[in-house]
A = this chain, B = another copy of it.
Amino acid sequence: MARTTLPVLLALLCVSAIARAQDALPSWNDGASKQAIVTLVERVTTEGSADYVEPGDRIATFDNDGCLWAEQPVYFQLLFAVDRIRAMAPDNPGWMTTEPYKSVLAGDMESLAKQGHKAIGEIIARTHAGMSTEQFDDTVREWLETARHPTTGRRYTDMVYKPMLELLEYLRKNGFQTFIVSGGGIDFLRVFAEEVYGIPSHQVVGSGMKTGYEVRNGVPTLVKLAELNFIDDKEGKPVGIHQHIGRRPFFAAGNSDGDFQMLEYVTAGDGPRFGLLVHHTDAEREWAYDRDSHVGRLVRGLDEAEQRGWVVVDMARDWATIFP
């Protein structure tokens, strides 16, 4: 190659890099949110810039329910538990007359909700404990393949947000390590996180029950116990991040006040940091809810986002496509 063609080639490579960065988020409409993301990534990945961040420190944490996939009419994991109670009912005839099972089997979610946290805790324990971790994984996998969302008729894993999948991939291509930090169950999430989000099991943080280890008939087995281990919500999110990641992330995305402390902790770090809240504003293509919602309630985040410099993504305005 003649020497004089090298600068031309380099120029072409640069142009193509910029085009790639913009093409990496095709489901995001041009506007302040997309611009803020692209600007940040360019700042922290440009060697020699004052805001350059070492690849090892480029850690991004994402809430799951309402941030990476939908959460209406209720958290999908609760729908899984309800389906499991139905499947287990023939072997438990007493459930027809015993709360909270009676309400679940009657499909009366309002009655279940009125029975409070203890009732929901019992449903979760009954469907998430008492089996090996491998049996649980198989049950979740089968459910994800066969179950359909009650209003859209889609598979639950098809109700992920395409713009957020693009964002995960865009960050990873720029040297970020992406983690899930969810109030949902860590074992439940890990069944599909790698395939759906490209996030391996050791980069998933969530709530969960304790696990026991025993040798059953000569087979080393991990058993899910009916005892709470950790709730990865609100103040629990920075704690879960510390426990699993061990350093302060650089970027955090959420959508509810359950994510407030995660964004607060992440964006209080030195140097450039990024907090993002997905605001559900699209009643036509998805759902519209915030301050009064029974899931994904968002009050303090909306009130304080501007003063804290967090980007609020307006789903109706910022996202050209929602589901894949």
Contact of A222 with B242 in the complex, beta carbons under 8 Å? yes
Q: How far is the CA of A297 from the CA of B220 in the complex (A)?
A: 22
Q: How far is the CA of A239 from the CA of B213 in the complex (A)?
A: 6
Q: Is the CB of A268 closer than 8 A to any CB of chain B?
A: yes
Contact partners of A212 in chain B: CB under 8 A? 235, 239
Q: How far is the CA of A313 from the CA of B211 in the complex (A)?
A: 31
Q: Is the CB of A72 closer than 8 A to any CB of chain B?
A: no
Contact partners of A235 in chain B: CB under 8 A? 212-214
Contact of B243 with A211 in the complex, beta carbons under 8 Å? yes
Q: Is the CB of A26 closer than 8 A to any CB of chain B?
A: no
Q: Is the CB of A200 closer than 8 A to any CB of chain B?
A: yes
Contact of B215 with A133 in the complex, beta carbons under 8 Å? no
Q: Which of A199-243 contact B (CB under 8 A)?
A: 200-204, 208, 210-215, 219-220, 222, 229, 235-236, 238-239, 242-243
Contact partners of A59 in chain B: CB under 8 A? 202
Q: In the complex, what's the smallest C-beta–C-beta distance from A176 to chain B, in angstroms?
A: 13
Q: Is the CB of A186 closer than 8 A to any CB of chain B?
A: yes
Q: Which residue of B lies closest to A264 (CB)?
A: B220
- Can you list 20 A-B contacts with CB-CB less than 8 angstroms, sorted by A residue number? A56-B194, A133-B242, A179-B202, A186-B246, A190-B246, A201-B245, A202-B202, A202-B203, A210-B239, A211-B239, A211-B243, A212-B239, A213-B238, A213-B239, A215-B264, A219-B268, A220-B238, A220-B265, A222-B242, A229-B243
Interface pairs A-B: 3 shortest CB-CB: A201-B246, A213-B235, A213-B238
Q: Which residues of A contact B (CB under 8 A)?
A: 56, 59, 133, 177, 179, 186-187, 190, 194, 200-204, 208, 210-215, 219-220, 222, 229, 235-236, 238-239, 242-247, 261, 264-265, 268
| 14 further A-B pairs in the complex, CB-CB below 8 A; given A202-B245, A208-B243 | A56-B194, A59-B202, A133-B242, A177-B202, A186-B243, A190-B247, A202-B203, A204-B246, A211-B239, A213-B236, A214-B235, A220-B238, A222-B238, A222-B239
